[in-house]
């Protein structure tokens, strides 16, 4: 089944099916009687690619011709083929073919990488039961109804209904970290009738039918039933979410399981939580399309004006049909309307180069080649995991410099998902962990190693409680050999304690557990969201019964009647302020009579067929009361390195950070506080547990009023998934108003599709902000695909997020450099590239338009057709391409240490209409100077050759073209801040190549050319001293005002970027030490600002004050500021001169 067919629409609706339910015959044992027609289901392939080998050409061509410039040049090319035009069809056809081919190769290569990743997943080996034996096959070959075997630590290849496991009770344990971000262990069950089928032969003999709902995206909902036929009798059992093993989840603490596939491939719940892959387009590309439409308007205006003026001019008979150009009979009798249309199209062809087709191919090449810098950046390389940054889509490089909102997952993205015990409160005394020991507050750990502190009764009881009140399970891995001696418990059950693995239903528990083997577990009172606590009832070694309970302070303290309640409450608040995850621990002793009553109540509630949940809640409430408070624990959820600094840097850059997580409210808030997402002084607003639209609306209005009334600078908002659903249903505008007034927003208990809906809500708001989503699990895929830019973290939760992202990094801290440095560079480079392309094409075509006033609008071309074709492809293409790959307005260290500079380029400021207008008017001004400068200097006296020979129209056009190539190339040189040897090579090399090419092209008679109007023209032009004088005068006339404008603006109205440039410029002693390239000595006096600026523009560096004996890296003024990113090893940060001597 094709990906498009299996993909749900944006809102996450279920895929269309003919029936509301599906019937799955276990082991595909279809009924033999009757006319049974098997249902058709999707195969088990996962598809994240856009193209296939069959649709690549038509689909890619369709996408490329959606671009205005490509479609326009296709029309122009067809016009040139159909009618007689002034220029050859090759002038339009060749650049168009070049652009289409290069773009197709780039996009095809990127999609090939996606196919490669898909094939790895689809080709993974799996075992299925077929024909009475266990057969190995590939994941893509699994069919609905197949019985699949999954071993420990393997991921489930499809959505399976659990049939049996290696345990006698048919249970298994899984983690769903890659689906919902939760690393806790979940227990899943099989029905009793299938749990006994633990061998392949028993499964082969199993006669069972699963009926269930059609696939839907909700991870936590599954409704079905299984009918098992035993001895001719049909037994029906209900199936729920606890019986379904989801694709992407991982089997833990269970040797193997067998399950029947019910949802496969793009119909699995994990795939349905993906968004359909759509073509993301950057803001710069949208701006380019807008500018192209404006230029198309200019082109139409020039063509219509030229056509009208031609007919106005030809109103006089002497110009309509001069004696030297008599019309044929056919021309005299032809339709005037057709002649007008033909002339209009001819002028369109003549001026068509004002639309820069090579802009697109240059942008594609810039994005493709520029994306390698991210992978090469050593600062984005993670040594521990040996992973470098990865670019999956280079089309969005510049969007990294425009981000206004960052949406991030929590577990595995902000945190390492590792807990560490830090502090505890026991009987009103606070203890902290020092070197693996508990030390009371105020004391130091000065006891000798190996000594045992004297523990009083309460402390021992507290430690017993945290050791016993948990659901941690131990997995033993059999070692190769067993070594005797040492710990008396080291060989319990024949397994070494060094090879134990712990699994828990809560990550906090795992950090608190110590083995306790002499207590017998009688009952577990499971955790639930209403009680927010869990308990165990144990039999002590002395034979008594005791309850240990733990939970959030709000769910334990109200039920305590003894112990140091107030002191513990204060300690819990202190732990929370430090960002620790807190648990309160209490106990209760039972008399024999009380325990008999408790045991009876629990067994009665657990075996009830009606209202089981309500009766269990009543029993739990009866048991968990009259508690004695023992103390509290503080556990730190280990954050990734430099998360707090990264979030603070993003905030200073004007980027709002939203945390979207599937975790519990308390956990999420705790991590938000510890990572700096929420500040201690921030006013935290809550939108939690709303049950109706009216209640939600009223709470939103209250929050809006509080924001207006409170005189607090910053607000933070906490919202849960259920409340968010209500807010998005009816009150989107009100919700957005509250969110936008909050500095930080935390959304907890979020389903994967809810994450995508929140991103879409921000994306489609009236301001249309640029959004970025970052996550590491399959539960983040829809959010990553919805955002303008999606970033995958190469974490512990599989590769789904990385495969479906635009960029992938190993750690969250790398996000700061990716945005503040790479994003900044990519944006300023491509913004200048776009503006410069329009500028140089206005310079190119406007003289052609002006020339028509001097040739009776006869559609005579000013330039030779070879020059028309090569102007954008050869003569002016390389300098701007190299500029767009290497330009740095500010040194990377400055960009990282001053995140506020990111604000200067936000909201697409460098491609604003005002900037576009400036470049366009500059192009028209320069074009007028080219044309009329050449006309004034050369037009009146055309006998400027030494032998008295006259200049012709081709010589005049070549003079204009020569001045134009030199001027537009030097204009880019003036814009270049960061000079490398490659900039010098392509800038001066392009001018030299133009002269050398023109000499060869016009100096030799080429046999394959039909006409050679340019023969010896260029040689004659260069032999004239007056022509050289004209070239120099016109170039200086064009560029001198630019230099003056830059100098005055830099002095009178410097931008913060220009001010920051001076920070990376050492104060040199003499005028000749260029600020961005040379090192300097301590104590040197500053150069004049004007001299510095002029040297920067010319790229000169000559030292007269002696050699500098220390490297520039050690002496630059940014070295002292860079306390956050001190280890910058990026090749992008290397200066062109990085030696000990200038």
Residue 686 CB coordination number (10 Å) = 16
Question: Measuring CA to CA, which residue among 880, 787, 878, 807 is closest to residue 372?
Answer: 807
- With tokens 């503080």, the residue in question is 634
Consecutive H or E run containing 212: strand 208-213
Rounded CA-CA distance 382/596 in Å is 58
Residues contacting residue 981 through CB under 8 Å, at least 6 positions apart: 1136
DSSP 1058-1077: HHHHHHTS---SSTT--TTT
- With tokens 């070879």, the residue in question is 866
Give start and end residues of each alpha helix (H) in 690-765. Answer: 693-709, 721-730, 732-740, 752-763
Rounded CA-CA distance 724/722 in Å is 5
- With tokens 């409680």, the residue in question is 465
- Identify whether 409 is a catalytic site residue: yes
Is the four-CA dihedral 925, 928, 931, 934 of positive or negative sign? Answer: negative
What does residue 6 show for φ and ψ, rounded to 5 degrees?
-80, -20
For 893, 944, 950, 958, the CA distances from 947, given in Å and listed in that order, are 61, 8, 9, 20
DSSP 420-445: EEEEEEETTEEEEEETTEEEETT---
Rounded CA-CA distance 1056/899 in Å is 12
For 326, 332, 333, 425, 433, the CA distances from 329, given in Å and listed in that order, are 10, 5, 6, 109, 105
Q: Which residues share a beta bridge with 263?
A: 159
CA angle, 816 then 687 then 272, to 5°: 65
Q: Which of 146, 180, 343, 409 is flagged as catalytic? A: 409
DSSP 585-608: EEEEEE-HHHHHHHHHHHHHHHT-
Question: Measuring CA to CA, which residue among 49, 44, 40 is closest to residue 4?
Answer: 49
Rounded CA-CA distance 47/276 in Å is 10
- With tokens 């094409």, the residue in question is 841
Q: Which residues share a beta bridge with 25?
A: 209
Rounded CA-CA distance 868/117 in Å is 44
What is the bridge-based pairing of β-strands 429-434 and 172-176? Answer: unpaired
C-beta of residue 618 within 8 angstroms of C-beta of residue 406:
no
Counting Cα atoms < 13 Å in the Cβ hemisphere of 62 gives 7
Question: Measuring CA to CA, which residue among 844, 917, 836, 910 is closest to residue 878?
Answer: 836
C-beta of residue 182 within 8 angstroms of C-beta of residue 661:
no
Residue 123 CB coordination number (10 Å) = 11
Contacts made by residues 910-917, CB under 8 angstroms, sequence distance 24+: 910/827, 910/828, 910/831, 910/832, 910/835, 911/283, 911/284, 911/287, 911/831, 911/834, 911/835, 915/835, 916/291, 916/294, 916/835, 916/838
Helices (H) and strands (E) in the chain, counts: 41, 33
Rounded (10°) angle between helices 721-730 and 693-709 = 90
Positions marked active-site: 409
């Amino acid at each position: 089944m094709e990906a498009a067919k299996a993909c749900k629409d944006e809102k996450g609706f279920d895929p269309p099916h003919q029936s509301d339910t599906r019937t799955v015959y276990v082991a595909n044992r279809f009924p033999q009687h009757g006319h049974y027609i098997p249902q058709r289901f999707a195969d088990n392939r996962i598809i994240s690619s856009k193209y296939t080998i069959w649709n690549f050409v038509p689909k890619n061509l369709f996408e490329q011709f959606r671009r205005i410039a490509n479609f326009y040049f296709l029309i122009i090319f067809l016009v040139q083929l159909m009618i007689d035009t002034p220029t050859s069809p090759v002038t339009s056809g060749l650049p168009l073919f070049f652009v289409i081919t290069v773009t197709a190769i780039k996009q095809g290569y990127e999609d090939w990488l996606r196919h490669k990743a898909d094939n790895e997943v689809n080709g993974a080996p799996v075992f299925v039961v077929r024909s009475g034996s266990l057969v190995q096959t590939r994941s893509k070959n699994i069919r609905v109804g197949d019985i699949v075997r999954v071993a420990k630590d393997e991921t489930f290849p499809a959505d399976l209904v659990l049939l049996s496991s290696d345990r006698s009770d048919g249970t298994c344990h899984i983690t769903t970290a890659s689906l919902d971000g939760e690393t806790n262990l979940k227990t899943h069950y099989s029905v009793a009738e299938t749990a006994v089928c633990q061998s392949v032969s028993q499964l082969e003999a199993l006669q069972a039918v699963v009926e269930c709902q059609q696939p839907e995206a909700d991870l936590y909902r599954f409704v079905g039933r299984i009918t098992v036929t035993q001895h001719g009798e049909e037994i029906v059992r209900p199936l729920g979410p606890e019986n379904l093993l989801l694709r992407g989840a991982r089997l833990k603490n269970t040797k193997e399981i067998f399950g029947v596939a019910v949802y496969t491939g793009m119909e699995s719940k994990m795939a349905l939580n993906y968004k359909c892959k759509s073509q993301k387009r950057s803001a710069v590309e949208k701006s380019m399309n807008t500018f192209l439409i404006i230029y198309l308007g200019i082109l139409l205006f020039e063509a219509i004006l030229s056509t009208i003026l031609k007919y106005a001019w030809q109103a006089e008979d002497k110009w309509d049909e001069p004696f030297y150009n008599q019309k044929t009979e056919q021309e005299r009798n032809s339709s005037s309307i057709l002649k007008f249309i033909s002339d209009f199209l001819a002028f369109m062809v003549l001026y068509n180069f004002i639309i820069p087709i090579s802009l697109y191919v240059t942008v594609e090449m810039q994005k493709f080649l520029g994306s390698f810098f991210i992978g090469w950046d050593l600062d984005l390389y993670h040594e521990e995991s040996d992973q470098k940054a990865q670019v999956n889509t280079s089309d969005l490089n510049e969007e990294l410099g425009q981000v206004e909102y960052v949406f991030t997952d929590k577990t595995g993205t902000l945190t390492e998902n590792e807990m560490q015990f830090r502090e505890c409160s026991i009987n009103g005394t606070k203890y902290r962990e020092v070197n693996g020991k508990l030390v009371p507050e105020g004391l130091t750990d000065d006891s000798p190693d190996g000594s045992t502190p004297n523990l009083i009764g309460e402390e021992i009881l507290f430690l017993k409680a945290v050791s016993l009140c948990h659901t941690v399970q131990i997995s033993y891995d059999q070692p190769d050999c067993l070594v005797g001696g040492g710990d008396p418990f080291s060989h319990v059950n024949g397994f070494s304690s060094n090879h134990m693995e712990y699994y828990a239903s809560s990550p906090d528990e795992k950090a608190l557990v110590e083995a306790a083997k002499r207590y017998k577990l009688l009952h577990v009172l499971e955790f639930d969201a209403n009680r927010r606590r869990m308990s165990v009832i144990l039999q002590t070694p002395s034979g008594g019964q005791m309850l240990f309970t733990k939970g959030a302070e709000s769910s334990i303290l109200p039920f305590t009647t003894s112990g140091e309640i107030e002191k513990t409450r204060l300690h819990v608040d202190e732990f929370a302020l430090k960002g620790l995850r807190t648990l309160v621990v209490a106990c209760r002793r039972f008399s024999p009579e009380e325990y008999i009553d408790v045991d009876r109540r629990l067994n009665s509630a657990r075996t009830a067929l009606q209202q089981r949940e309500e009766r269990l809640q009543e029993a739990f409430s009866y048991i968990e009361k009259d508690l004695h408070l023992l103390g509290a624990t503080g556990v730190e959820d280990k954050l990734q390195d430099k998360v707090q600094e990264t979030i603070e840097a993003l905030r200073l850059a004007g980027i709002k950070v939203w945390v979207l997580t599937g975790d519990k409210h308390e956990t999420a808030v705790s991590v938000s506080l510890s990572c700096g997402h929420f500040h201690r002084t921030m006013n935290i607003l809550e939108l939690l547990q709303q049950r109706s639209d009216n209640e939600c609306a009223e709470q939103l209005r209250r929050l809006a009023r509080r924001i207006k009334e409170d005189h607090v600078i910053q607000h933070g908002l906490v919202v849960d998934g259920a409340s968010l659903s209500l807010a998005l249903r009816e009150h989107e505008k009100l919700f957005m108003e509250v969110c936008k007034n909050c500095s930080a927003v935390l959304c907890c208990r979020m389903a994967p599709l809810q994450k995508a809906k929140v991103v879409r809500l921000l994306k489609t708001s009236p301001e249309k902000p640029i959004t970025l989503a970052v996550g590491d699990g399959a539960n983040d895929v829809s959010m990553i695909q919805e955002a303008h830019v999606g970033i995958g973290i190469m974490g512990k939760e599989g590769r789904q997020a990385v495969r479906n992202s635009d960029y992938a990094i190993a750690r969250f801290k790398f996000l700061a450099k990716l945005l503040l440095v790479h994003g900044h560079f990519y944006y300023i480079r491509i913004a200048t590239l776009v503006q410069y392309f329009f500028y140089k094409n206005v310079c190119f075509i406007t003289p052609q338009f002006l020339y028509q006033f001097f040739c009776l609008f006869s559609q005579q071309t000013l330039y030779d057709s070879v020059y028309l074709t090569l102007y954008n492809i050869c003569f002016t293409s390389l300098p701007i391409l190299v500029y767009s790959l290497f330009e740095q307005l500010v040194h990377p260290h400055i960009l990282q240490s001053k995140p506020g500079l990111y604000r200067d380029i936000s909201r697409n400021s460098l491609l604003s209409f005002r900037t576009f207008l400036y470049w366009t008017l500059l192009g028209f001004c320069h074009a007028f100077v080219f044309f009329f400068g050449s006309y004034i200097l050369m037009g009146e006296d055309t006998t400027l050759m030494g032998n008295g020979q006259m200049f012709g129209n081709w010589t005049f056009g070549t003079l204009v073209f020569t001045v134009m190539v030199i001027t537009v190339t030097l204009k880019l040189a003036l814009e270049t801040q960061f000079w490398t040897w490659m900039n010098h090579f392509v800038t001066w090399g392009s001018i030299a190549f133009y002269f050398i090419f023109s000499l060869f092209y016009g100096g030799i008679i080429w046999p394959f050319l039909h006409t050679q109007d340019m023969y010896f023209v260029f040689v004659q032009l260069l032999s004239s001293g007056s022509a050289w004088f004209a070239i120099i005068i016109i170039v200086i006339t064009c560029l001198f005002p630019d230099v003056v404008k830059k100098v005055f603006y830099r002095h009178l109205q410097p931008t913060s970027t220009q001010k920051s440039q001076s920070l990376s410029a050492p104060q040199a002693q003499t005028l000749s030490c260029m600020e961005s390239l040379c090192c300097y000595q301590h104590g040197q006096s500053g150069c004049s600002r004007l001299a510095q600026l002029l040297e920067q523009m010319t790229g000169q560096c000559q030292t007269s004050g002696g050699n500098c004996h220390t490297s520039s890296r050690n002496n630059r003024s940014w070295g002292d500021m860079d306390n956050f990113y001190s280890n910058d090893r990026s090749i992008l940060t290397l200066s062109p001169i990085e030696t000990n001597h200038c």
